Structure 1
Amino acid sequence: MTAPPSLPETMRALVQEVRGSPLVLKSVPMPQPTPGAVVVRVLAALVDSKLPKILQSSEPILGFEYPLPFIPGTRAVGRVVALGPDATSLTVGQLVLLDPWVLGRDNPNNWILMGAMNGVTPGSKKLMKDNWSFAFFAEYAKTPLENTSILNEHRLCTELGYSIPELCQLAVDIVAYGGLRSIELQAGDRIIVTPATGAYNGSTVGVAVAMGASVIATGRTESALALLKKVHPGQVETVVRTGDVETDTAALKAFGPVDKMLEMGPGRAVGSTHAKSAIGALRPFGRAVIMGLGGGPMTHVEIPYMALVWNGIRIQGQVMYNLAWLKDLIKMAEAGVLKLGKERGFEVVGEFKLEELEQAWKIAAENDVFGKVVVLTPWKE
């Protein structure tokens, strides 16, 4: 199936052709709708402050490898412009959320992060190279049907008043939701989120609150912790970490029994005490999920071995999420249970055209903390 005649033959996109070289804004062929895929006009694509480090390195960092040529960008909101022949629920003109967690249809163990990483298996590397090496820093993108989620535009934008850039947050929230669902977070649970002051781990706090939990948020950035407590009054407590395991564990226990714990530290996390302190604060038979990048000093983490044994603590790893859960998360937002935008502490601090990428990188780096959002807007409606 070919694209409708109304679509152009080419589009503008930010392309990297040599590993470590700058992205170049150039004209590339228009993506075509094929079976299992949809073509979307990109309205807003999140600018991740950590992406430049990955793109500018001549060697993969923390496993972030990708084929060339490459168009980055991992999360976006767009509008459907063309459909493959097997699309049954999507229609042209619909507002959609684009997420990067692409799974092999014949083997879900072959996964990629579209726009960032070609996975960890030969099959995953083939999946990206042959199909999904062009992502969302472009005017248009071809995306898998499974990663193109319908948004109720009237409810979200008209009734609830969210802007298109604010809706991009849902593609961040689903990462946290995946971790929380994996440990079966229940309404009434008390959970530690550590750290909780970055773009991704900080988002976990609002998602956990929407699921009915009370949260203990930890970190070193006091202003971000204060914001989390302000936008979730009565539902969030905060602990500024000292780096001393016994002191931090006692502070976490001070709020009462802790049922669950989610760790999502960045690769640059200094030391491993935040994970050890949080695990040590869990009640008997508590559960912990580890989702951080785990590079550098976090490559090996000490755990209180006998405390795990005597207390029956369960620790598990989790990578990303079950795609079916994304529909549940979107329903929470459309119901008004999961807040977005300013009500949850988010501020869009920059909207930039494709040709303004360097300025977008700069603003994102200056606002690398929970609550600050920067987007590229190839098309602005």
Structure 2
Amino acid sequence: MAFSPSRQNSNRVIFLQRAEGTENLRAKLQTRPIPKATPGSVIVRVLAASVRANTSRISRNPHRGHALPLPFGPGHTAICRVSGISSDVTSLKVDQLIFIDPYIQARDGDGFYISAVMEGSTPESLKLSRGDWRDGTYADYAKLPIENCHILYEHRLLGDEKHGGLGYTIEELTHLFSMLAPFGGLSDIDSKPGGILLIAPATGRSGSAVLLAAIIVFCHSLRLSTHKSRLFSITGDIAKDAETIRNASRGLADAFWDMSPATAGSSTHFKSCLDALKIGARVSLVGGALAEVNFSYLDIISPKHNLISNLTAVRSGIMAQDKTKEVVRVIDAPISDVWAIIAAFGSEKLWFPNVIQSSLEGFGIGSIRTLTFNNGHVVHERLEIADPETHTPSPT
């Protein structure tokens, strides 16, 4: 969602509140004064703000399970320019291009607030979400914590490709948010270079983004989907799927990253993936399955029921701000050397066009496309198509 400039000294704000006499929510456009910077805060001019696919459901249904600090101004992650700074700001400068991280954390405790998505349930979290940081970025101007403003290398990201830039648009940069949950999840389970990572489900915005996150930490990835024409297809046969995963992984996997949606609690992929993990493997649960999931306590401590698996399971949620800074550093790093990116086991086209430009759809599990980049352009490509029986790639 992009914003056109408003009149000077005015601030158009989308305001969300309950409709009088009902449980329904309604949004109104209001004009308010531009907020003033106070210690610990930054005033930003919003250029483009991300609208999540579930924004309508979260904002309309008062029983959705995501508590919000009504009434308030919604707004999630955004690309902004610094408009005003407080006296304790040392690095940010007026007019700098910045990325807004929506994970607001208390400076002196464990309170948290995911802007426009969910306030916490503790007294500390409620104080945080109903105080200075109540309103989000669906406005011309917003007031935000210093820690949530991440400087972007504007010349590199927005610059013309002919002059060494990456040629992104402001709207495309809002997709940085897609990287936060995947990168945070992989960090929480201490993903190692060369490790085998199972990704499920591997479709949609976050499923595609986790592949890029896996590439960043140099993991090999096996992506699972119920879609029968792409990636590794889940059949519903737990033992058969587990065996196929083990074959495709050429052994047992080191980690399992799961972002199952609310309706996926009964999916069989949980047990299949757990049965394909090594002893001591790590599991990152980033999804939002609402019902009881289709695996038990015993599946965690002993997936095959004949050994102690020693799995580490992590519920990844809030993205630490130091990890957000790492994502930003990777994305806008002024790298001029050749990049060699290996995309294994299938890939959809990602929003990040200078990393992966094409798809492996139709080549089968185990196929590998190696793309070598220089200044954002593919200078060499090699395709290894896997044998359909052994899943072993061979050069074409």
Does structure 1 residue 121 correspond to structure 2 residue 122?
A: yes
Q: What pairs up with 1:120-199 in 2 under 5 angstroms?
A: 120-158=121-159, 159-199=165-205
Does structure 1 residue 342 correspond to structure 2 residue 338?
A: no
Instruction: Determine the structure 1 residue equivalent to 2:45.
Output: 41
Q: Residues 272 and 302 of structure 1 are in contact (CA less than 8 Å); yes or no, is this contact kept in structure 2? A: no
Q: Residues 195 and 201 of structure 1 are in contact (CA less than 8 Å); yes or no, is this contact kept in structure 2? A: yes
For the structure 1 residues 343 and 243, does the alpha-carbon distance in structure 2 shift closer, same or farther, using more than 3 Å as the test? farther
With 244-253 and 92-101 compared, the bigger mean Cα shift is at 244-253
**2:254 maps to which of 255, 259, 276:** 259
Which residue identity does 2:50 align to in structure 1? L
**% identical equivalent positions:** 29
**1:307 maps to which of 297, 303, 306:** 303
How far does residue 8 in structure 1 lie from its aligned partner after superposition?
Answer: 4.2
Which has more helix, going by share of residues? Answer: 1
Instruction: Determine the structure 1 residue equivalent to 2:74.
Output: 72
Q: In structure 1, list runs of 5 or more residues that go unmatched.
A: 1-5, 227-237, 347-381
Which residue identity does 2:80 align to in structure 1? G
Q: In structure 2, list runs of 5 or more residues that go unmatched.
A: 1-5, 160-164, 342-349, 358-396
Instruction: Determine the structure 2 residue equivalent to 1:13.
Output: 13
Instruction: Determine the structure 1 residue equivalent to 2:31.
Output: 27
Question: Any idea what SS the aligned residue of 2:303 has?
Answer: helix
Which residue identity does 2:196 align to in structure 1? R
Question: Any idea what SS the aligned residue of 1:17 has?
Answer: strand
**2:237 maps to which of 226, 244, 249:** 244
How far does residue 9 in structure 1 lie from its aligned partner after superposition?
Answer: 4.0
Q: Residues 167 and 340 of structure 1 are in contact (CA less than 8 Å); yes or no, is this contact kept in structure 2? A: no
**2:206 maps to which of 197, 200, 204:** 200
Does structure 1 residue 210 correspond to structure 2 residue 216?
A: yes
Instruction: Determine the structure 2 residue equivalent to 1:364.
Output: none
Q: Find the aligned partners of 1:284 and 1:211 in 2 and give their Cα distance.
A: 21
Q: How many residues align?
A: 325
Question: Any idea what SS the aligned residue of 2:73 has?
Answer: coil
Q: Residues 101 and 320 of structure 1 are in contact (CA less than 8 Å); yes or no, is this contact kept in structure 2? A: yes
Question: Any idea what SS the aligned residue of 1:269 has?
Answer: coil
Q: Find the aligned partners of 1:67 and 1:301 in 2 and give their Cα distance.
A: 34
How far does residue 243 in structure 1 lie from its aligned partner after superposition?
Answer: 2.5
- Structure number with the bigger relative contact order (C-alpha 8 A, sep ≥ 6) is 1
CA offset digits 1:207-255 (Å, max 9, x no partner): 11122111111122356xx4xxxxxxxxxxx311122322221221112
How far does residue 180 in structure 1 lie from its aligned partner after superposition?
Answer: 0.5
Does structure 1 residue 331 correspond to structure 2 residue 329?
A: yes
Q: Residues 158 and 167 of structure 2 are in contact (CA less than 8 Å); yes or no, is this contact kept in structure 1? A: yes
CA offset digits 1:139-185 (Å, max 9, x no partner): 11111111100000011111111111111122220211111011111
How far does residue 270 in structure 1 lie from its aligned partner after superposition?
Answer: 4.7
Q: Find the aligned partners of 1:119 and 1:301 in 2 and give their Cα distance.
A: 27
Q: Residues 279 and 310 of structure 2 are in contact (CA less than 8 Å); yes or no, is this contact kept in structure 1? A: yes
Decide which structure has the larger Cα Rg and report it.
2
Question: Any idea what SS the aligned residue of 1:42 has?
Answer: strand
How far does residue 7 in structure 1 lie from its aligned partner after superposition?
Answer: 8.8
Which residue identity does 2:278 align to in structure 1? R
How far does residue 340 in structure 1 lie from its aligned partner after superposition?
Answer: 5.2
Q: Find the aligned partners of 1:187 and 1:169 in 2 and give their Cα distance.
A: 25
For the structure 1 residues 344 and 46, does the alpha-carbon distance in structure 2 shift closer, same or farther, using more than 3 Å as the test? farther
Instruction: Determine the structure 1 residue equivalent to 2:374.
Output: none
Question: Any idea what SS the aligned residue of 1:321 has?
Answer: coil
Q: Find the aligned partners of 2:81 and 2:41 in 1 and give their Cα distance.
A: 14
Q: Find the aligned partners of 2:128 and 2:39 in 1 and give their Cα distance.
A: 15
CA offset digits 1:327-358 (Å, max 9, x no partner): 11111112357985334579xxxxxxxxxxxx
Q: What is the TM-score with the length of structure 1 in the denominator?
A: 0.79
Q: Residues 274 and 303 of structure 2 are in contact (CA less than 8 Å); yes or no, is this contact kept in structure 1? A: no
CA offset digits 1:56-88 (Å, max 9, x no partner): 1132x23x1111222222211111111111110
Does structure 1 residue 101 correspond to structure 2 residue 103?
A: yes
Q: Residues 197 and 220 of structure 2 are in contact (CA less than 8 Å); yes or no, is this contact kept in structure 1? A: yes
Instruction: Determine the structure 1 residue equivalent to 2:283.
Output: 288
CA offset digits 1:344-375 (Å, max 9, x no partner): 579xxxxxxxxxxxxxxxxxxxxxxxxxxxxx
Q: Find the aligned partners of 1:270 and 1:24 in 2 and give their Cα distance.
A: 36
Q: Find the aligned partners of 1:85 and 1:327 in 2 and give their Cα distance.
A: 23
Q: Residues 201 and 265 of structure 1 are in contact (CA less than 8 Å); yes or no, is this contact kept in structure 2? A: no
With 271-280 and 184-193 compared, the bigger mean Cα shift is at 271-280
Which residue identity does 1:285 align to in structure 2? G
Q: What pairs up with 1:263-282 in 2 under 5 angstroms?
A: 263-282=258-277
Which residue identity does 1:157 align to in structure 2? L
How far does residue 317 in structure 1 lie from its aligned partner after superposition?
Answer: 1.8
Q: Residues 191 and 216 of structure 1 are in contact (CA less than 8 Å); yes or no, is this contact kept in structure 2? A: yes
Which residue identity does 2:321 align to in structure 1? L
Question: Any idea what SS the aligned residue of 1:97 has?
Answer: strand
For the structure 1 residues 28 and 129, does the alpha-carbon distance in structure 2 shift closer, same or farther, using more than 3 Å as the test? same
Instruction: Determine the structure 2 residue equivalent to 1:367.
Output: none
Question: Any idea what SS the aligned residue of 1:55 has?
Answer: helix
Q: Find the aligned partners of 2:276 and 2:323 in 1 and give their Cα distance.
A: 29
Q: Find the aligned partners of 1:199 and 1:332 in 2 and give their Cα distance.
A: 19
Question: Any idea what SS the aligned residue of 1:131 has?
Answer: coil
Q: What is the TM-score with the length of structure 2 in the denominator?
A: 0.76
